[in-house]
Amino acid sequence: MPDRVVDFYDRHPISEAQVLAAVARRRGGVEGALTAEDLFEFDQDHYGGLDAVDTLARRAGVIARSRVLDVCAGLAGPARFLASRRGCRVVGVELHAGRAAGGARLTRRVGLAGRVSVVRGDATTLPFAAGAFDACLSQEAFLHIERKPSVLAECHRVLAPGGRLAFTDWVARPGLGDRAREQLREWMAATSLQTLEGYRALLGRVGFGAVEAEDLSDAWRQVLRARLRMFRAMRADTVARLGEARFGEYDRLYAFFVGLVEAGRLGGGRFTATR
Ligand SMILES: C[S@@+](CC[C@H](N)C(=O)[O-])C[C@H]1O[C@@H](n2cnc3c(N)ncnc32)[C@H](O)[C@@H]1O
């Protein structure tokens, strides 16, 4: 199953090259010094933008001396945001080799390598010692992981006692049928989806306490509507960059996905728990 995830992110529109191209368009070039702030508009691959990262960090109690692990870090946008705004050290672990390397290059480029490192690895077998972190965060990534008990147990293992896990993910809601699940698996590498209550139970089962589960479906519905509108408004630009076929592929995929969210069959959840 990780192969399907890697394949999906091989073709994903958010990449190191795309981030730098977007910054270049905005600034009229990428020569000279770049800061983490220059990238934030383009390097976050989740819903709710920087506010969403900030909320997770608050829920996880992240402060300047926290040792933070970002699980499934993507291009390390959230990791750079936390390190630059909160002054903490962040390690990002990312499955996709190109994204891990791209995330590390972007981090060096903005001068944050002293505080942010990106490690290529699988969230179900984290390459870190027990108790190495004070906070584990993750955004919109566990949907790609079939063995959810493993990833949650690994977060529990690498947290110090009293450490906090805070993550957001898509959740299955009533009426999400087998066919829609199969399409989500095929098209978006969503290998398995938990429900809000399913996650709550799993977190307890792997040893977490003070578990909280919050339904974000209404907020995400607004975000997704806006994203679909924006994607379609940028049709000419996207076709020029990726071609008509890729635009069409993403458009169909997006419309299907947003349709499930509109119908209340798919939603989002935010979870916090204490080791
Ligand atoms: C939607 S992106 C989110 C990236 C980042 N959290 C952000 O918000 O910008 C999901 C990321 O999870 C990574 N991923 C998926 N399965 C993984 C696994 N088993 N271990 C580590 N990373 C994984 C993907 O390669 C992808 O970069």
Give the mutation target among 51, 72, 96, 270 for probing the ligand 1 site: most ligand atoms within 8 A of CB.
72
pLDDT mean over 183-209: 95
Q: What is the pLDDT of residue 187?
A: 86
pLDDT mean over 224-248: 87
Q: If you measure from the C-alpha of residue 73 to the centroid of ligand 1, how many angstroms do you get, rounded to a whole number?
A: 5
Q: What is the pLDDT of residue 254?
A: 86
- Portion of the chain with pLDDT greater than 70, in percent: 100
CATH superfamily, with its number, for domain 2-167+192-217+269-274: Vaccinia Virus protein VP39 (3.40.50.150)
Contact (Cβ atoms closer than 8 angstroms) between residue 63 and residue 86 = yes
The C-alpha atoms of residue 88 and residue 82 are separated, in whole angstroms, by 7
Contact (Cβ atoms closer than 8 angstroms) between residue 80 and residue 103 = no
Q: What is the pLDDT of residue 1?
A: 60
Q: Is the pLDDT of residue 150 over 70?
A: yes
Ligand 1 atom 4: residue of nearest CA: 74
Q: What is the pLDDT of residue 11?
A: 84
- The 10s digit of each residue's pLDDT in 3-56 is 899 999 998 878 999 899 999 988 888 787 899 999 999 999 999 999 999 999
- Portion of the chain with pLDDT greater than 90, in percent: 80
Ligand 1 atom 14: residue of nearest CA: 72
In the chain, where are the structural domains located?
2-167+192-217+269-274
Give the mutation target among 46, 94, 120 for probing the ligand 1 site: most ligand atoms within 8 A of CB.
94
pLDDT mean over 108-132: 98
Contacts of 173 (CB under 8 A, 6+ apart): 195, 217, 264, 265, 266, 267
Backbone angles phi, psi at 97, to 5 degrees: -60, -45
What Cα–Cα distance (Å) separates residue 220 from each residue in 46, 141, 168, 183, 235?
10, 15, 11, 20, 22
Q: What is the pLDDT of residue 83?
A: 98
Q: Is the pLDDT of residue 158 over 70?
A: yes
What Cα–Cα distance (Å) separates residue 45 from each residue in 17, 150, 154?
14, 23, 23
Beta bridge pairs of residue 273? 165
Beta strands across the sheet bearing 266-274? 116-120, 89-94, 67-71, 133-139, 159-172, 266-274, 209-215
Atom of ligand 1 nearest to the CA of 6: 25
pLDDT mean over 144-170: 98
pTM: 0.94
Please, which pLDDT band fits residue 159 given cuts at 50, 70 and 90?
Answer: very high
| Mean pLDDT across the chain | 94
pLDDT mean over 164-178: 96
